[in-house]
Amino acid sequence: MEIDDTGERLIAEGNEQTLTYGEHLSRYSAVKGVVQGKTVLDIASGTGYGTKLIAQYAKKVYGIDYSEDAITYCKAHHPSTNIEYQVGDAHDIPLADNAVDTVVSLETIEHLKSPEKFVAEVKRVMNDDGVFVVSTPNDDEFIEGNVFHIHEFTLRELKKLLEKHFKYITYYYQGVYYAAALLDEPSFTNSRDWEGMVHKTFGQPINKAIYFIALASNKPLTDVLTQNVVVADSWNAKEDILRDRARQEYLRQLEEQIENDEQRLRDSHKENETLQVRNREMQTELESIKGSRGWKLLEKGWRIKGKLRPKKQR
C-alpha cells in the first residue's frame, strides 16, 4: 500500500534527509521520556513513523488518523505488537473515557475546525492526571500558504486555549539552525543515532520560534521533553554557491527573455497603431473619392453598362 504525497502528512520513507523530516523526528524523539511505560494516544498519527517510535518506549499506543489510506499505510509500513491503528476523528476520538495516560498531538491542532472541541476530547480520553503533549506552528514565523492549515496559533492564542483546560503547562520552542558537525567516519557516512556535545552560539527571542510544543496536565508536571538536535538536509558551501550561480544565470536569462517579449509586444502595439492610423487615412480618402463628382459619373457609367448592380430601393 502506497499513499499520495500531498504534503498534508509527512511520508518518512524517501524523505529521511530532508529538514522537514528532521523537524518531525525531533518532536517525536522529545517525547520518549513522557511516554515511557505509558498507554499513549498518538492522535493524527499520519503515516505512522512517529507512532512506531513512541511504541519503542510506551506500554501501548493507539495510532488514530481520519484518513483510511493513512491507517492502511501505517499498518503496512510501521506495525508493532503494541500499536493499535484505527480510523477516527480528532473531534470525536474513538476511545473510552480515561483510556490513556498520555496524548501526543504533534502538528494536528492547526488542521482542525474546532480546537476547543478537540482539547475537550483529549481530556475525556485521558486519565485525570495524564499529560497532553501538543505542538503547532508559530503563526508569526511559519511560512505562509499551507492549504491544509485552518488556523495557525500565536503563542498567546495557544496559551489561552491550554490554560482554559489545564492547570500546569510547560512550554518548549523549536527552531531551525545551520550546524557544523565534527564526526567519525561511520557517523559521517551513515544515518544513525548519535549523541555528542552541541554548542549553541547565540540566542533568539521566543517569538522567533517556528514551532511551539507544550506539556499540559492537571497535576504538577514532573515529566520533561528530551531536548535534542536532529542533523538533516546536509549543506555544502561550494555546492550552494554553484546552485546560486546557476539560479542567478537562469533568472538573468528569464529576465532577458521577458524584456525581449515585452519589447516585441511594444513594437507590435506600435505597428498596430501605425496600421490603424493608415487604415483611417485610407477610409477618409476612400470616402472622399466616393463623394466626388467624377466617381458618381463613373459609377453611373458602370451601372449603364451593367457592371454594377442597381442600388436596392428601401
pLDDT one-digit tens code per residue, 295-313: 777 777 777 766 555 555 5
State what percent of residues in the chain have pLDDT above 90: 54
Answer yes or no: are the C-beta atoms of 200 and 2 closer than 8 Å.
Answer: no
More confident residue, 288 or 172: 172
What cell was used for 34? 513522557
For residue 306, what pLDDT is reported? 65
For residue 239, what pLDDT is reported? 78
Answer yes or no: are the C-beta atoms of 89 and 116 closer than 8 Å.
Answer: no
Beta carbons within 8 Å of 41's beta carbon, 6+ residues apart: 61, 62, 64, 93, 95, 99, 100, 102, 103, 104, 125, 126
Give the pLDDT band (50/70/90) at residue 27: very high
Cα(263)–Cα(300) distance, rounded to whole angstroms? 51
Q: What is the DSSP letter of 149?
A: -
Give the pLDDT band (50/70/90) at residue 140: confident
Q: How many CA atoms lie within 13 A of 271 on its CB side?
A: 6
For residue 307, what pLDDT is reported? 55
Cα(162)–Cα(214) distance, rounded to whole angstroms? 9
Residue type present at position 104: V
Q: How do residues 214-271 score in pLDDT, each as one tens digit? A: 999 999 999 999 999 888 887 777 877 887 888 888 888 999 999 999 999 988 988 8
Cα(11)–Cα(21) distance, rounded to whole angstroms? 8
Residue spans of the domains in the chain: they are 19-235, 240-304
Answer yes or no: are the C-beta atoms of 107 and 135 closer than 8 Å.
Answer: yes
For residue 188, what pLDDT is reported? 87
Q: How do residues 193-217 score in pLDDT, each as one tens digit? A: 777 888 888 899 999 999 999 999 9
By DSSP bridging, strand 83-87 and strand 100-106 are: unpaired
pLDDT score of 5 more than 70? no
Predicted structure pTM score: 0.74
Q: What CATH class does 19-235 carry? A: alpha beta
Three-state DSSP class for 47? coil
